[in-house]
Chains A and B, each alone.
Chain A
Amino acid sequence: MDNKTVELLEILEKNGRIPIETLAKMLDLKVEEIERKIKTLEEKNIILSYSAVVDWSKAIEDEKVTAVIDVKVTPKRGVGFNEVAERIYRFPEVKAVYLMSGTYDLSVHIEGKTMAQIARFVAEKLSTIDSVISTTTHFMLKKYKHDGVIFEPKKEDKRIVVSP
């Protein structure tokens, strides 16, 4: 992949809403070239989706509850952890699944409306899967930084307005 395409990805990863015209100026390419590059990146599943990082605590009164669950599983012959991971990530409330090294195997991130809803998911859906040996649920209390974005950034520019 050429340098400009990598640069394009880096910019879009930080901010997916920058207009094509601005991207073209920043990278010294034609608008059509940027469009073509983005289309190719999407087709190749390199760009998977465009999303906003939302601070839901400010947007709605009923906060979402987020939990990270450490899951120990018995890997199955031939398919390893993939099969059980696949079963887990199909649930819509599951936002992310990672295979981990260390004391547990899968890190499952889920979102629900209430703690009770998450408890029900763990008890009824997750723990009942054959390969799952144990779960440990951690509730997130506050988001400080997510996906590289600081939630309460200090925006004050301490520099003087005009300087040498």
Chain B
Amino acid sequence: MKTSTMKRSYLSETAKKLKPSGIRKFFDLASQMEGVISLGVGEPDFVTPWHVCEASLDSLERGYTGYTSNAGLLELRTEIVKYLQGKFNLTYDAEDEVIVTVGASQAIDVALRAILDSGDEVLVVEPCFVAYSASVSLAGGVPVAVPTSAESEFKLLPEQLEQKITEKTKAIILCFPNNPTGTTMSEQELDNVADIVKKHDLLVLTDEIYAELSYNEEHVSIARFNGMKERTIYISGFSKAFAMTGWRLGYAAGPAEIIQAMLKIHQYTIMCAPTMAQYGALEALKTGMDDVNEMVKSYRQRRNFLVKSFQEIGLDCHLPGGAFYVFPSIKKTGLTSEQFAERLLHEEKVAVVPGNVFGEGGEGHIRCSYATSLSELQEAMNRIGRFTRKYAV
């Protein structure tokens, strides 16, 4: 008979406490079914523009198969700096204020590890991307939720923020345009947030991965306001705008002191981002804006279609200014967001993500991605309409 010699669990307390992503659970359910129309996908339905793929292939053919510098190809960092300057009026030095990472996700992780000591609190504006709180915990910090509400279209209000600030608060994570709500913040609204951040001497991690997908007005970064550059870590990547999710390529820009600290962690753990992906990204930045504009146009049309269709079937749905998600309220059905999503999947084979997985304030809503063909959206809305009629909406 085999007897285990293990007398204890080898898992760290952190790993044990980490909750699995609510999205994952729903993915497992949906992936077992056939014929599902999915509005649950958080990535573009476009494939990476061919000239970007070709640039990457070309780099392999020319033998660029080794490491790049830890911070990423200087040529790419220089192009990122030009892009941030031209597009969002942000000024950085390619030499020591930018690093190229393995997706925006790694940039977030490294940034948090660079700034947090055990017990530091980080404000997380919810509903938000599922990884923020977990990344804070993994870096030894304590995530503190700042819930936003549908009444204010999920915008971050200064008073909501101020209420959660304590002596331990070190940073705040922002994400606008937002995943899952699609909410954007105007220049004035962001300026108000910036004032509070400065007043309490906080750092900001701003995840602006969806910045290119802004439909109503020009995207504004919080890093742009007076006195904000030195306290902001700007994070973005190529996944959403250039349809390059699988390439895992992102970047962070910020004050040299923080970026150099991030670079140390990055070089000990990742070494550098994949070289061929960096060459693809370089091509994307240099000549890919026409592709972006075409995709944005298509997303905007589908967003309009989806919001109006939700309103037509009687569900409240604000018009999101960015990203590729709508976040309608399903409260009228009397179901929780999990019940709604599960029943919709079983009864009509439409996959959506329940809003509660994105944190406080997400309950009563579902996230629907419109990064799906128009014909699929039309069919999905027919099915959702049929489904909600059963619940007397």
A22-30, A33-41, A92-100, A105-113 - interface stretch: A22-30
Interface presence of B387 (CB below 8 A) = no
Interface presence of A46 (CB below 8 A) = no
B residues near A7, Cβ cutoff 8 Å: 297, 301
Contact yes or no, A164 B304, CB < 8 A:
no
Give 12 pairs: A residue, B residue, CB < 8 Å, sorted on A.
A7-B297, A25-B309, A26-B302, A26-B374, A159-B41, A159-B43, A161-B30, A161-B36, A161-B40, A162-B23, A163-B23, A163-B41
Q: Given the complex of chains A and B, what is the CA–CA distance between A96 and B350 in angstroms?
A: 44
Q: Given the complex of chains A and B, what is the CA–CA distance between A135 and B393 in angstroms?
A: 68
A residues near B302, Cβ cutoff 8 Å: 26
B339 to chain A, nearest CB (A): 17
Closest Cβ neighbor of B312 among chain A residues: A25
A residues near B26, Cβ cutoff 8 Å: 162
- In the complex, chain B residues 292-346 whose Cβ is within 8 Å of any chain A Cβ: 297, 301-302, 304-305, 308-309
Contact yes or no, B301 A11, CB < 8 A:
yes
Number of A residues, CB within 8 Å of B: 16
Number of B residues, CB within 8 Å of A: 28
Q: Given the complex of chains A and B, what is the CA–CA distance between A10 and B179 in angstroms?
A: 29
Interface presence of A160 (CB below 8 A) = yes
Contact yes or no, B351 A25, CB < 8 A:
no
Cβ-neighbour of A26 out of B23, B31, B130, B301 (below 8 A): B301
B residues near A124, Cβ cutoff 8 Å: none
Contact yes or no, A26 B353, CB < 8 A:
no
Report which residue of B30, B308, B351 has the largest number of chain A beta carbons within 10 angstroms of its beta carbon: B308
A161 to chain B, nearest CB (A): 4
A residues near B179, Cβ cutoff 8 Å: 164
Contact yes or no, A164 B374, CB < 8 A:
no
A residues near B131, Cβ cutoff 8 Å: 164
Interface presence of A18 (CB below 8 A) = yes
- In the complex, chain A residues 69-93 whose Cβ is within 8 Å of any chain B Cβ: none
Interface presence of B129 (CB below 8 A) = yes
Interface presence of A130 (CB below 8 A) = no
Contact yes or no, B304 A162, CB < 8 A:
no
A residues sitting closer than 8 Å to B (CB atoms) are 7, 10-11, 18, 22, 25-28, 157, 159-164
B334 to chain A, nearest CB (A): 24
Q: B180-219 interface mask toward A, CB cutoff 8 Å, 1 = contact, 0 = none?
A: 0000000000000000000000000000000000000000
Report which residue of A10, A22, A27, A161 has the largest number of chain B beta carbons within 10 angstroms of its beta carbon: A161
Interface presence of B42 (CB below 8 A) = yes
Q: Given the complex of chains A and B, what is the CA–CA distance between A162 and B27 in angstroms?
A: 5
Q: Given the complex of chains A and B, what is the CA–CA distance between A86 and B41 in angstroms?
A: 52
Closest Cβ neighbor of B369 among chain A residues: A163
Report which residue of B31, B36, B301, B304 has the largest number of chain A beta carbons within 10 angstroms of its beta carbon: B301
B residues near A11, Cβ cutoff 8 Å: 301
B residues near A160, Cβ cutoff 8 Å: 27, 31, 41
Beyond A7-B301, A28-B304, A164-B42, list 7 extra A-B contacts (CB 8 Å): A18-B374, A22-B305, A160-B27, A161-B27, A161-B41, A163-B41, A164-B129
- In the complex, chain B residues 11-55 whose Cβ is within 8 Å of any chain A Cβ: 21, 23, 26-27, 30-31, 36, 38, 40-43, 45
Q: Given the complex of chains A and B, what is the CA–CA distance between A161 and B31 in angstroms?
A: 6
A residues near B353, Cβ cutoff 8 Å: 162
A residues near B65, Cβ cutoff 8 Å: none
- In the complex, chain B residues 255-298 whose Cβ is within 8 Å of any chain A Cβ: 297
